């Protein structure tokens, strides 16, 4: 199941080629550089798995570096949640936890150096003027009137910026490159802006903060990163990344861009995720419907399945969207192997077994994992009254429905063959109870006469059942590409109103008494479930991680379409 095949992609090809050439003496050093302004999601997981995975594969190291250059949007809360999430995914950075803010001093010195070299200048233009002077995609920009200030004046002004002598937006430090460059990033990019904010780590020590372009490459250089992996949209920034490093003459990492992860029926942009949380479409960052790592963890998805998924998706430069079913496959694949089984009835329908003694209770032996004996067995009580799922009974069964219906015999898993004798309804015609008989010769679920039944049902004894809550999740969006629906509307327009369904009186077998938040089970024939932290002593709460592959639902759907097609 865990195919240990050696991963290969265009980035690893580059690394291997460089190793053969002896570059960096074969040393490989990567980094994962999140900005602590939100929660990590599965899109970040691609970068995490890539960076840590490559380091591992080539006997290198991967640093964790928080890119905290903008105090207006970053918070400590996000730092700790990110650390937790990356650890949960299975990666560690030993003592190599860094912050871009650790380098503010060095960055300042280097900026002074560039000013002295005549390669950076203080600009007094307003933000609006800077934008106007920048030109457009098709027209070159024009140079700021402040571009040719003397080194002394620049030094003086820059120090003034640092010492808080100016207001925000009053001045910036810009690199002096080329206002006519076809690459807009090279039209004298801003290196420092004035921000009178308290930084989560440096406090009020600084009132100027480096921009991404100025901070990132230099931070990579300080950490002697050999391969700086980032997403495609930074491709246009690479010439600038290289320019700073070349002007400074310092260690020069190589930036390589790859396509970010997209998945159907969800959004993976921090901005929209924030919107979902803040506008209350979901219940927080760790809502099990969220594609955040904390949400997926709460839902019961394993880190292993996320890693396998990412590894199988591959790395390339083509902008792409992975089908959700692929993620689902790896979630089931891992859960199937590792979760013990249990019985849970989501929509209970009471069954009275008329030929079974009133007070008798038998313990039936169930394997905890039919495919893996090492999970052991457990005893499950059986009695005169049991619950089965309403979906497992049809008064008027359609073709190929193998489950219970009047007069039909099915197997109660690891218990008895059972035949439906009678259907009890209330005054509204709603089925409230089934009356059935059991064949005592079939105890354990096998017939001595060799007769077969097609259907096997799961069940829970009424007097022994635990009453729990189950939350079943569906896709958050009805549109496979929620962002495409934005034209003329908002991506929230395609939100699925039925993405959360709560079953408040689910009946589960008594062995589940005392389970802990995070514990996972397969409710046989239903799906995989994970105990939610909302659980209390009185009431357990389960999240459905994912349903089992349901071939009957598929058959029925097809039958329905067939019927519709014939009608029209």
Partner RNA sequence: UGGGGAGUGGUGCAAUGGUAGCACAGCGGCCUUUGGAGCCGUUGAUCCUGGUUCGAGUCCGGGCUCCCCAGCCA
Q: Is 13 in the site for RNA (CB under 7 A)?
A: yes
Catalytic residue among 18, 35, 197, 486: 35
Nearer to RNA, 6 or 137 (CB): 137
Q: Contact, 528 vs 521, CB < 8 A?
A: yes
Rounded CA gap, 504 and 529, in Å? 15
Candidate segments 345-353, 429-437, 462-470, 550-558, binder of RNA by CB under 7 A: 550-558
User: How many amino acids of this chain bind RNA (CB under 7 A)?
Assistant: 91
At residue 379, what are phi and psi to the nearest 5 degrees?
-100, 135
Between residue 343 and residue 382, which ones bind RNA under the rule CB under 7 A? 369-371
Rounded CA gap, 326 and 318, in Å? 18
Task: Establish how many alpha carbons lie within 13 A of residue 434's alpha carbon, considering only the half-sphere containing its beta carbon.
Answer: 25
Candidate segments 46-54, 156-164, 427-435, 444-452, binder of RNA by CB under 7 A: 444-452
- Cβ count within 10 A of residue 122: 24
Helix axes 212-222, 238-248, angle to 10 degrees: 60
Task: Establish how many alpha carbons lie within 13 A of residue 381's alpha carbon, considering only the half-sphere containing its beta carbon.
Answer: 18
SS3 377: strand
Between residue 79 and residue 108, which ones bind RNA under the rule CB under 7 A? none
- By CB under 7 A, name the one of 225, 256, 315, 388 that touches RNA: 315
At residue 431, what are phi and psi to the nearest 5 degrees?
-70, 125
Would you call 35 a catalytic residue per the annotation? Answer: yes
Would you call 152 a catalytic residue per the annotation? Answer: no
Whole-number minimum distance, CB 420 to RNA, in Å? Answer: 14
Nearer to RNA, 287 or 411 (CB): 411
Q: Is 193 in the site for RNA (CB under 7 A)?
A: yes
Rounded CA gap, 526 and 506, in Å? 12
Q: In what helix (H) or strand (E) does residue 87 lie, and over which residues does it extend? A: helix 76-89
Q: Is 401 in the site for RNA (CB under 7 A)?
A: yes
Task: Say which DSSP state 456 is in.
Answer: E
Would you call 260 a catalytic residue per the annotation? Answer: yes
Q: Is 202 in the site for RNA (CB under 7 A)?
A: no
Whole-number minimum distance, CB 540 to RNA, in Å? Answer: 20
Whole-number minimum distance, CB 331 to RNA, in Å? Answer: 11
Between residue 42 and residue 81, which ones bind RNA under the rule CB under 7 A? 67, 69-70, 73
SS3 31: strand
Between residue 203 and residue 242, which ones bind RNA under the rule CB under 7 A? 209, 211-213, 216, 232-237
Q: Is 134 in the site for RNA (CB under 7 A)?
A: yes
Whole-number minimum distance, CB 446 to RNA, in Å? Answer: 4
**Residue given tokens 């009254």 in the structure block:** 385
Between residue 158 and residue 187, which ones bind RNA under the rule CB under 7 A? 168-172, 182-185
Whole-number minimum distance, CB 72 to RNA, in Å? Answer: 7
Whole-number minimum distance, CB 260 to RNA, in Å? Answer: 9
Task: Establish how many alpha carbons lie within 13 A of residue 438's alpha carbon, considering only the half-sphere containing its beta carbon.
Answer: 25
Active site members:
35, 260, 270
């Amino acid at each position: 199941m865990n195919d240990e095949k050696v991963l290969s992609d265009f980035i690893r090809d580059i690394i291997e080629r460089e190793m053969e050439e002896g570059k960096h003496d074969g040393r490989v050093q990567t980094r994962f550089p999140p900005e602590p302004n939100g929660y990590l999601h599965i899109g970040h997981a691609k970068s995490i798995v890539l960076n840590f995975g490559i380091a591992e594969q080539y006997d290198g190291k991967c640093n964790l570096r928080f890119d905290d250059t903008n105090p207006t949007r970053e918070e400590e809360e996000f730092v700790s949640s990110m650390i937790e999430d990356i650890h949960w995914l299975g990666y560690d950075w030993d003592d190599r936890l860094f912050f871009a803010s650790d380098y503010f001093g060095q960055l300042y010195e280097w900026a002074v150096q560039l000013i002295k070299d005549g390669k950076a200048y203080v600009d007094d233009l307003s933000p609006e003027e800077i934008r106007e002077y920048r030109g457009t995609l098709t027209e070159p920009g024009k140079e700021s009137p402040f571009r040719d200030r003397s080194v002394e004046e620049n030094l003086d002004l820059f120090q003034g910026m640092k010492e808080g002598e100016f207001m925000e937006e009053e001045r910036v430090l810009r690199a002096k490159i080329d206002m006519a460059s076809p690459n807009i990033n090279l039209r004298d990019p801003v290196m420092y802006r004035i921000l009178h904010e308290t930084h989560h780590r440096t406090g009020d020590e600084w009132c100027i903060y480096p921009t991404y372009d100025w901070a990132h490459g230099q931070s990579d250089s300080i950490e002697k990163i050999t391969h700086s992996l980032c997403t495609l949209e930074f491709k246009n920034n690479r010439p600038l990344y290289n320019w700073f490093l070349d002007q400074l003459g310092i260690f020069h990492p190589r930036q390589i861009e790859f396509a970010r992860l997209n998945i159907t029926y969800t959004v993976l942009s921090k901005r929209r995720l924030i919107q979902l949380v803040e506008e209350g479409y979901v219940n927080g960052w760790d809502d099990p419907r969220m594609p955040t790592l904390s949400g997926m963890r709460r839902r019961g998805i394993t880190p292993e399945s996320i890693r396998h998924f990412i590894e199988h998706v591959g790395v390339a430069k083509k902008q792409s969207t992975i089908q959700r079913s692929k993620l689902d496959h790896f979630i089931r694949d891992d859960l199937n192997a590792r979760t013990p089984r249990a019985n849970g009835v989501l929509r209970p329908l009471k069954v009275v077994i008329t030929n079974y003694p009133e007070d008798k209770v038998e313990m039936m032996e169930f394997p905890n994992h039919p495919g893996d004996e090492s999970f052991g067995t457990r005893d499950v009580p059986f009695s005169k009254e049991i619950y089965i799922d309403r979906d497992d009974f049809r008064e008027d069964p359609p073709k190929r429905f193998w489950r219970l219906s009047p007069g039909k015999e099915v197997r109660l898993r690891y218990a008895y063959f059972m035949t439906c004798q009678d259907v009890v309804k209330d005054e509204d015609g709603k089925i409230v109870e089934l009356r059935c008989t059991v064949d005592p010769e079939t105890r354990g679920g096998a017939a001595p006469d060799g007769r077969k039944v097609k259907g096997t049902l799961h069940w829970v004894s009424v007097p022994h059942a635990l009453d729990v809550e189950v939350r079943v999740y569906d896709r958050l969006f009805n549109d496979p590409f929620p962002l495409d629906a934005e034209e003329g509307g908002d991506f929230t327009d395609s939100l699925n109103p039925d993405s959360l369904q709560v079953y408040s009186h689910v009946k589960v077998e008594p062995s589940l008494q005392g389970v802990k938040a995070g514990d996972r089970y397969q409710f046989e024939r239903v799906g995989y479930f994970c105990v939610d932290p909302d659980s209390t002593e009185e009431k357990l709460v389960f999240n459905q991680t994912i349903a089992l592959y349901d071939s009957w639902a598929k058959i029925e759907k097809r039958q329905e379409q067939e019927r519709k097609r014939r009608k029209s």
